[in-house]
């Protein structure tokens, strides 16, 4: 529940922020008549992202417990890790110029007088966030699913709903308050949290690769903490979701978890520095 809350909050706020910026800019230049174009692009993007998520979930439950599930899980982990890392670093690097970019694209769409120009701008922005969210959701569901069983959706739905609810509130605040909101610090905090989640998916990827026999190196178990906190317990499940906790981690799992997290946090810190302009 907690990881999905953060995922939907982070992605929901980014998508909502884009929509709010577009609407606020149209309001500023007196083009409220194009609000419907923005809503159309958002609706289509959300519909397609939902279809993508349903297809992925059905595939998971259909092949539950089979080698196909492991292949599918591993592929989803890798895609989610890459998308989470790239998205977080890109947003941290370009967040200061995002509003200006959106306003420039809106001007181009209005100037060209294309019927669905603004709808396409909204669709591209929100659609990207929607598809990323579905990939992250599937990866977390796979990560928390017990071997041979379909993942529970109750906690996922609650976390997703609460995340979207808070994101909607932030979007309204962005639309009404605009530049008076300091979103930079907010995205920095959520960015670090998401990178920690991604590190957990790295450990899950290594575990799957070792189960498939594709990564024989470093398969020695370092310790067994199941007597203290079992991974299958409620607390262990939360820790696994948050930081990738494993009660019997292998050398490769721990090593790649540390290397990934250290590398991306360094890159995130560098991306946070203001650009030097000449």
Does residue 277 sit within a domain? no
pLDDT of residue 150: 46
Q: Decide if 262 is inside a domain.
A: yes
Token pair 């941290």 is found at: 92
Predicted pLDDT at 74: 83
The strand pairing partners of 250, in sequence order, are 221
Structural contact between residues 176 and 40, judged by C-beta atoms closer than 8 angstroms: no
Residue showing tokens 């948050």: 242
First to last CA, the chain: 46
- The number of beta carbons lying within 10 Å of the beta carbon of residue 20 is 22
Distance of CA 10 to the CA centre of its chain: 7
Q: How far is CA 11 from the centre of its chain?
A: 6
- The answer as to whether 278 is a domain residue is no
Identify whether 20 is part of a domain. yes
Report pTM: 0.67
186/10 Cα distance (integer angstroms): 9
Contact indicator for 67, 58 with CB cutoff of 8 Å? no
The pLDDT of residue 157 is 72
Asked if residues 208 and 246 have their Cβ atoms less than 8 Å apart, the reply is no
For the chain, give the number of residues. Answer: 278
State the DSSP code for 153: -
Number of domains composing the chain? 1
Tracing tokens 């909101």 back to the chain, one arrives at 181
- Cβ neighbours for 45, distance < 8 A, ≥ 6 positions apart: 122, 123, 124, 126, 127, 130
CA distance 88 to 93: 9
Tokens of 193: 């949290």
Give the helix ranges, DSSP H, for 178-245.
183-211, 234-243
Domain that holds residue 151: 2-272
Residue 148: per-residue pLDDT: 41
Give the pLDDT of the chain (278 residues) as one tens digit per residue.
666 777 777 677 777 777 777 787 787 788 788 888 888 888 898 888 888 778 877 776 776 666 777 787 788 788 888 877 887 887 777 666 666 767 777 777 777 666 577 788 788 777 777 777 777 777 777 666 544 444 455 666 777 788 778 877 877 776 676 545 555 666 677 778 878 888 888 988 898 888 888 888 888 999 999 888 888 777 777 777 777 888 889 999 999 999 999 999 999 888 777 655 54
């Amino acid at each position: 529940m907690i990881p999905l809350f953060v995922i939907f909050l982070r992605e929901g706020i980014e998508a909502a922020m884009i929509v709010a910026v577009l609407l606020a800019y149209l309001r500023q230049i007196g083009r409220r008549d194009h609000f419907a174009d923005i809503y159309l692009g958002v609706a289509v993007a959300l519909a397609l992202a939902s279809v993508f998520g349903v297809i992925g979930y059905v595939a998971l439950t259909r092949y539950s417990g089979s080698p196909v599930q492991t292949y599918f899980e591993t592929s989803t982990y890798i895609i989610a890790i890459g998308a989470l890392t790239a998205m977080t670093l890109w947003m941290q690097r370009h967040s200061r110029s995002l509003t200006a970019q959106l306003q420039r694209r809106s001007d181009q769409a209005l100037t060209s007088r294309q019927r669905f120009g603004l709808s396409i701008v909204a669709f591209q922005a929100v659609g990207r966030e929607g598809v990323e969210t579905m990939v992250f959701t599937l990866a977390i569901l796979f990560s928390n699913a017990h071997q041979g069983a379909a993942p529970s959706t109750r906690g996922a739905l609650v976390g997703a709903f609460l995340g979207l609810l808070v994101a909607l509130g932030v979007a309204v605040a962005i639309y009404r308050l605009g530049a008076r909101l300091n979103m930079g610090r907010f995205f920095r905090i959520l960015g670090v949290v998401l990178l920690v989640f991604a590190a957990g998916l790295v450990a899950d990827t290594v575990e799957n690769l070792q189960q498939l026999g594709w990564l024989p190196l470093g398969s020695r178990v370092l310790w067994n903490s199941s007597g203290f906190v079992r991974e299958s317990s409620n607390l262990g499940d939360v820790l696994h979701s948050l930081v990738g906790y494993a009660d019997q981690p292998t050398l490769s799992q721990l090593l790649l978890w540390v290397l990934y997290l250290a590398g991306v946090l360094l890159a995130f810190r560098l991306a946070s520095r203001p650009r030097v302009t000449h």
